[in-house]
């Protein structure tokens, strides 16, 4: 740990305070292509059942919107960086259906589903 930190843009922090029906999933990763760190925020609007993604590239002090994320986002889990992508758990909004793993590629800035391991949605601890 270096002890260094970076503030997100003031506008992003202010908006977050005023929207109460929105939950967010955060992720942080490094782009090998551009040699830049990127901070991802996926905001889930419960009322509209949609997910919007914003990218903040460190050093630019700017953010931009990425098209809607096509997967329902489970806000109980944080994004985890691995192999050039930020991964998170996305739940289907259909009752009794399984969750899936989604990856957001840091370089291409596109999301994709990943097949989960066997018994991924089995919460019993067996298997």
What pLDDT score does 13 carry?
46
- Domain boundaries defined on the chain: 10-14+21-114
Mean pLDDT across 26-38:
86
* pLDDT value of residue 18: 46
User: Helix or strand or coil: residue 43?
Assistant: strand
Q: Which of the two residues, 118 and 94, has the higher pLDDT score?
A: 118
Helix (H), strand (E), coil (C) string for 68-123: CCCCCCCCCCCCEEECCEEEEEEECCCCCCCEEEEEEECCCCCEEEECCCCCCCCC
- 14 confidence band (pLDDT: 50, 70, 90): very low
Q: Which residue has the higher pLDDT, 126 or 75?
A: 75
Report how far residue 81's alpha carbon sits from residue 40's, in angstroms, rounded to the nearest whole number. Answer: 11
pTM (predicted TM-score) = 0.67
pLDDT value for 7: 67
């Amino acid at each position: 740990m270096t002890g260094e930190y970076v503030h997100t843009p003031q506008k992003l922090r202010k908006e977050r305070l005023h929207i109460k029906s929105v939950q967010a999933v955060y992720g942080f990763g490094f782009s090998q292509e551009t040699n830049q760190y990127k901070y991802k925020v996926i905001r889930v609007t419960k009322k509209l059942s949609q997910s919007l993604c914003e990218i903040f590239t460190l050093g630019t002090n700017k953010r931009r919107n990425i098209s809607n994320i096509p997967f329902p986002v489970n806000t109980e889990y944080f994004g985890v960086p691995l192999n050039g992508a930020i991964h998170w758990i996305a739940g289907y909004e259909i009752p009794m259906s399984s969750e899936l793993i989604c990856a957001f590629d840091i370089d291409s800035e596109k999301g994709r589903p990943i097949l989960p391991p066997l018994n991924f949605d089995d919460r019993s601890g067996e298997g």
